[in-house]
Amino acid sequence: MAWHLQPAAGMLVPSRLARGPFLPQRPLCDLFSASLSFSDEDHAENIRRAGAIALIAGRSGITSICALISPLRRERDAVRAMAESKGIRFLEVHVCTPLEVCEARDVKGLYKKARAGLIPKFTGIDSPYEPPLKPDGVVLTEQFTIEEAVERIYRVVIGTARLKG
CATH classification at residue 62: 3.40.50.300
Does residue 162 lie within any of the structural domains? no
CA distances from 26 to 50, 86, 117 (A): 11, 26, 22
Residue type for 75, please? Answer: E
Candidates 5, 2, 1; CA nearest to 95 is 5
Crossing angle (nearest 10°) for helices 40-59 and 73-85? 30
Does residue 84 lie within any of the structural domains? yes
Note the pLDDT of residue 119.
86
Does residue 163 lie within any of the structural domains? no
Does residue 164 lie within any of the structural domains? no
From the candidates 33, 64, 70, 127, which is the catalytic residue?
70
Residue-by-residue DSSP string for 22-42 = EEEHHHHHHHH-TT--SSHHH
- pLDDT tens by residue, the chain, 165 residues: 555 444 444 344 444 454 454 445 555 555 555 676 667 788 788 888 888 888 888 888 877 888 778 888 999 999 999 999 988 888 888 888 889 988 998 888 989 999 999 988 888 898 888 999 999 888 888 888 878 888 888 888 777 545 455
Does residue 107 lie within any of the structural domains? yes
The total number of structural domains in the chain stands at 1
Identify whether 15 is a catalytic site residue.
no
**Overall residue count recorded for the chain in this entry:** 165
